[in-house]
Amino acid sequence: MSQTNSLQFRPNACPLCLICLVCTKIYGEDCICPYKELKWKRKSDEYIIDFRHKSLDKVAARKQKTKLDNEFVSWFYKNISPNLEISEEPHDANICRSCINKYEYYKRTLNRPKKTKSKSDLASKTVIDLDSGDAIDTVDLTKLSPLKPSQEHNLQKTNTLSNLNIPTQDKKQNLQKQPITTYIPLVCFNQFQKPRKKLDGAISLSFNLDEIQTFGQIDEEILSKELPKTWGKIEIGLYSYQLSRGVGADHFNLKSKDSILAFVDEARRRKNIQLSVYQEKTTKCKAITYGSSVIDTNNFTTYENETESTLDNAKKAIYKNLKECPYHIQGCLIAEDGRHLKLNGESMTLWARAMVSRIKGVDEITPPPLPIFDKNKYKFPNSKTTTQIPETLDIRRKSIDLYNHELAVSTVVQQSGTTLSMLHSVTIHLKKRSHFKENIYVTKGMTFADLISFVFPAGPLKEKRFIFKSSFDTGGKQFLPEQMLHDIFHEEHADIWVDMEEIISNYDDLFD
């Protein structure tokens, strides 16, 4: 992997001149401000430098309900700071007023009737019409021009420019956006057909809209929640979204890929969007409950590629084989001794994924050998204790993460969107300097050793070595330099504490 001194794209620094909108210092030089989302307000005290929020693609423009200024976009990419790490185009950017003025001036000069322009002058202007898709007339070859990929394709015909573009393009492949969590309410209706009635209760689902691409991701989020008991058993896989929260608002089915994209798009734009599930019909419920307990295993040939529908089918197969339980309407496993294990969305998804991934010994009757399916956790349903032995969220999450890892390395195609680790940035803390280096961008395969060689290129002091810890507190875990960050951290951001200790060279005090 390669490490550079590139700076991460951040909303609180102008990507063109790198001035920090909050402290007015230069990002990457003397500015020590952390990453911060900024919202423009007339009289805001959250920032000092006035700025304008500008859309850089159609997604952001739609969200802002503004027309995409293609001229600005091309100008932006021509003038973006070369110190900025741009591997994936940002949807929008906060541009300082000064740079906005420069753009305004640039635009005026472009539109201004030319007086006496020499051919060389004319050639120095880039004329790009992104909407029309027309070929680029002329390109300023004297400037680094990190244009959009569609344009790059054309531009790379020019050797000079493609050479100039190489570092920027490399960077573009690596950037990950700062995720923004969007909360969308989930409600339940008694049936999909009209007249339908909304049931009491609602829960909030959190999504990173930038990552929602498949039905499975929405399915997983819904099934991972504890649904209100008043909803009873819901129709697995039958979900819709509504553009407003009124009962009469249309229900848009979420099944096709297009409908998922439409949902994400609407969710970005509308405040009142909500997701809907439907109560499972009693007749169907019985049919499933008492239906064939044996599924033709040949059916599993349909699970070769784990798509939304295959995962969904796997879940349905599991549900079909569950015994009827008056206590756990969402489904449960019942042991020979009468103890139950309530199944929730998370466990169902893990089980289904294990089936799809053809983990040995796992089928629609046998759950995967995970701690959450441990027979010890089965409880008598009338027991006052919880159905599951309480465990710390941490331990539970880790077991799931480990299992997810196993699934990921299996040769079976993984469901798109279910990534092992969402890690994309880390912050380094030292004993004497908390937040010593913030938001260091992490690439796949990056190790602690890579990280430390970036932070301290000079290496440790003589006869000392760096120690990586999860915390300086007692009990904080230590990591080996060769360990990969993505194997350790699964959240989007991680904090790492770095210490330095003497290398023990004299063992006399330690051994006889």
Residue with tokens 């465990």: 391
* Binding of DNA by 435 (CB under 7 A): no
Q: Could you give the string, one character per residue 441-480, with x where binding to DNA holds by CB under 7 A and - elsewhere?
A: ----------------------------------------
Q: Which residues, 37 to 96, sit near DNA by CB under 7 A?
A: 39-42, 50, 52-55, 64-66, 69, 72
Of residues 34, 82, 149, 246, which one binds DNA by CB under 7 A?
246
* Binding of DNA by 102 (CB under 7 A): yes
H runs (alpha helix) in 53-145? 58-64, 70-79, 97-111, 119-123
Beta carbon of residue 478, minimum distance to DNA (angstroms, whole number) = 45
Of residues 4, 46, 88, 101, which one binds DNA by CB under 7 A?
101
CA–CA dist 416, 217 (Å, integer) = 9
CB atoms within 10 A of CB 251: 16
CA–CA dist 99, 83 (Å, integer) = 16
CA–CA dist 346, 428 (Å, integer) = 32
Residues comprising the chain, all counted: 512
Beta carbon of residue 124, minimum distance to DNA (angstroms, whole number) = 12
Written as one string, the DSSP assignment of 122-146 is: HHTS----TTTTPPP----TTS---
Q: Tell me whether residue 112 or residue 229 sits nearer to DNA (CB atom).
A: 112
Beta carbon of residue 89, minimum distance to DNA (angstroms, whole number) = 17
- As beta bridge partners, residue 5 has none
Single out the segment in contact with DNA by CB under 7 A; choices: 20-28, 245-253, 452-460, 496-504: 245-253
- Chain-centroid distance of CA 147 in Å reads 25
Q: Tell me whether residue 41 or residue 157 sits nearer to DNA (CB atom).
A: 41
Size of the site for DNA (CB under 7 A): 26
Q: Which residues, 396 to 425, sit near DNA by CB under 7 A?
A: none
Q: Tell me whether residue 66 or residue 163 sits nearer to DNA (CB atom).
A: 66
Asked whether the beta carbons of 490 and 421 are under 8 A apart, the reply is yes
Q: Tell me whether residue 91 or residue 342 sits nearer to DNA (CB atom).
A: 91
Q: Tell me whether residue 113 or residue 457 sits nearer to DNA (CB atom).
A: 113
Count Cβ atoms within 10 A of the Cβ of residue 222 and give its class: 0-12 exposed, 13-18 middle, 19 or more buried: buried
Q: Could you give the string, one character per residue 263-292, with x where binding to DNA holds by CB under 7 A and - elsewhere?
A: --------x---------------------
CB atoms within 10 A of CB 418: 17
Q: Which residues contact 479 (CB under 8 A, 6 or more apart)?
A: 448, 468, 469, 470, 488, 496
Beta carbon of residue 43, minimum distance to DNA (angstroms, whole number) = 7
Beta carbon of residue 66, minimum distance to DNA (angstroms, whole number) = 5
Single out the segment in contact with DNA by CB under 7 A; choices: 36-44, 158-166, 305-313, 497-505: 36-44
Structure tokens at 127: 């004329």
Q: Tell me whether residue 97 or residue 125 sits nearer to DNA (CB atom).
A: 97
Single out the segment in contact with DNA by CB under 7 A; choices: 223-231, 241-249, 275-283, 375-383: 241-249
Using CA atoms in the order 289, 230, 259, 301, what is the torsion angle rounded to 10 degrees?
A: -20
* Binding of DNA by 129 (CB under 7 A): no
Asked whether the beta carbons of 106 and 75 are under 8 A apart, the reply is yes
List the one residue out of 448, 459, 440, 447 whose CA is nearest residue 6. Answer: 440
Q: Tell me whether residue 66 or residue 256 sits nearer to DNA (CB atom).
A: 66
Q: Tell me whether residue 37 or residue 391 sits nearer to DNA (CB atom).
A: 37
Beta carbon of residue 199, minimum distance to DNA (angstroms, whole number) = 15
Question: Would you call 262 helix, strand, or coil by DSSP?
Answer: helix
CA–CA dist 64, 443 (Å, integer) = 31
Of residues 247, 287, 365, 461, which one binds DNA by CB under 7 A?
247
CA–CA dist 44, 456 (Å, integer) = 37
* Binding of DNA by 142 (CB under 7 A): no
* Binding of DNA by 140 (CB under 7 A): no
- Chain-centroid distance of CA 117 in Å reads 49
CA–CA dist 311, 354 (Å, integer) = 10
Of residues 133, 248, 390, 457, which one binds DNA by CB under 7 A?
248
Asked whether the beta carbons of 378 and 325 are under 8 A apart, the reply is no
Q: Tell me whether residue 54 or residue 339 sits nearer to DNA (CB atom).
A: 54
- Binding-site ranges for DNA (CB under 7 A): 39-42, 50, 52-55, 64-66, 69, 72, 97-98, 101-102, 104-105, 107, 109, 246-248, 271
